[in-house]
């Protein structure tokens, strides 16, 4: 890792251990210390108001392959940020070469059908989708197999212009096991999803944006900065209402249109039981910024 003085850096804030963390001019997160309990991820709190939880997948030698300990740490970090009332949104990122190159092939090489069943292999991945707060994936480099599936488990995907997405499990004699055959068609439609899953071919960031897999593409070195801006923008709203909006959008992937519309209506009515809804509309009429209280 380069020394602090060798790169022009944008100061981000203090990590959860109270130590400094920065983004370098190449967009890499530079942490000078690691939260002691984590070996496969790094966490930080960033943004001008220190209300964005940042999680960096950190197994650079294995291209952030998603081994079980990494996923256990990731699940814990997401849960901790979710229950921290000072955090408005969470970002998951990797490094310039890889967001994550998939589930750890070395770890699962000797698995059997029965061991997968017994151990509920990959079950903990679903824990991420229980998070009430928005999670944004900031993807530079490879997002393959489980890496692509992890990005799709997030609520929004921003990508660096050199990102590569794919579901190459077919190349190693298996199929996606954490949402690739289910979430990908919902993002990009059947034909494109079939092509990606059946060929194992990679798609680049620009193509992923065109398909609707990724919402925006940025120069590599701008990606994290722009993702933090997005998280901060979300953080200006009522956390309570943000959570309701997220739940409501997610229903669109779980139900029929009719049931989804009913769900949305009841959530919409529900916002009228909150102080923040009242404050939002009152502030609009009084032509002043709202002061949301998460109530």
Q: What is the DSSP string of 226-259?
A: HHHHHHHHHTTS-HHHHHHHHHHHHHTTTS-HHH
Length reported for the chain: 295
C-beta of 149 vs 276, nearer to ligand CAA? 149
Q: Considering the rule CB under 6 A, would residue 198 count as an interface residue with ligand CAA?
A: no
169 is catalytic: yes
Task: Please state the separation of Cα 278 from the chain's center in Å.
Answer: 31
Between CA 86 and CA 224 the distance in angstroms is 20
Q: Considering the rule CB under 6 A, would residue 105 count as an interface residue with ligand CAA?
A: yes
Q: Considering the rule CB under 6 A, would residue 13 count as an interface residue with ligand CAA?
A: no
The candidate with the shortest Cα–Cα distance to 137, out of 90, 177, 173, is: 90
- Edge-to-edge strands of the sheet including 89-93? 41-46, 52-57, 89-93, 135-139, 156-160, 216-218
103 is catalytic: yes
Among 27, 47, 134, 146, binds ligand CAA (CB under 6 A): 146
Among 155, 169, 209, 276, binds ligand CAA (CB under 6 A): 169
In angstroms, the Cα distances linking 41 to 1, 65, 200 are 16, 12, 27
Residue pair 184/197 in contact by the 8 Å Cβ criterion: yes
146 is catalytic: yes
Extract the tokens encoding 202.
Answer: 């990679």
Q: Considering the rule CB under 6 A, would residue 57 count as an interface residue with ligand CAA?
A: no
Extract the tokens encoding 13.
Answer: 């804030």
Residue from 98, 147, 169, 209 carrying the catalytic annotation = 169
Q: Considering the rule CB under 6 A, would residue 196 count as an interface residue with ligand CAA?
A: no
The residues pairing with 13 across neighbouring beta strands, listed in sequence order, are: 21
Part in contact with ligand CAA (CB under 6 A); list of ranges 100-108, 153-161, 246-254, 258-266: 100-108
Among 54, 55, 90, 103, binds ligand CAA (CB under 6 A): 103
For residue 97, the minimal CB distance to ligand CAA (Å) is 7
C-beta of 64 vs 238, nearer to ligand CAA? 64
Q: Which residues are tagged catalytic?
A: 103, 146, 149, 169
Q: Which residues bind ligand CAA (CB under 6 A)?
A: 62-63, 65, 101-106, 122, 142, 144-146, 149, 168-169, 171-172, 176-178, 180
């Amino acid at each position: 890792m380069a020394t602090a003085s060798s790169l022009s850096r944008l100061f981000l804030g203090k990590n959860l251990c109270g130590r400094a963390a920065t983004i370098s001019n190449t967009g890499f997160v530079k942490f000078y210390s690691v939260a002691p309990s984590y070996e496969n991820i790094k966490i930080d709190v960033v943004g001008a108001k220190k209300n964005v939880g940042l999680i960096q997948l950190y197994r650079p030698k294995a291209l952030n392959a998603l081994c079980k300990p990494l996923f256990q740490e990731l699940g814990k970090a997401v849960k901790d940020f979710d229950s921290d009332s000072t955090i408005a949104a969470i970002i998951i990122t990797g490094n310039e070469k890889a967001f994550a190159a998939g589930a750890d092939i070395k770890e699962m090489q000797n698995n059997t059908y029965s061991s997968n069943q017994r151990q509920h292999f990959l079950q903990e991945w679903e824990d991420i989708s229980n998070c009430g707060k928005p999670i944004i994936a900031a993807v530079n480099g490879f997002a393959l197999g489980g890496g692509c599936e992890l990005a799709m488990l997030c609520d929004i995907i921003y990508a660096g212009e050199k990102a590569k997405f794919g579901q190459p499990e077919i190349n190693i004699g298996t199929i996606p096991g954490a949402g690739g055959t289910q979430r990908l068609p919902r993002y990009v439609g059947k034909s494109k999803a079939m092509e990606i899953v059946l060929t194992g071919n990679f798609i680049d960031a620009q193509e992923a944006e065109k398909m609707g897999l990724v919402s925006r593409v940025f120069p590599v070195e701008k990606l994290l900065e722009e993702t933090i801006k997005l998280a901060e923008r979300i953080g200006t709203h009522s956390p309570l209402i943000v959570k309701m909006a997220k739940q409501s959008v997610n229903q669109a992937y779980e139900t029929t249109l009719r049931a989804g519309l009913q769900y949305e209506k009841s959530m919409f009515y529900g916002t009228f039981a909150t102080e923040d809804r009242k404050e939002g509309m009152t502030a609009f009429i009084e032509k002043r910024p709202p002061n949301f209280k998460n109530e």
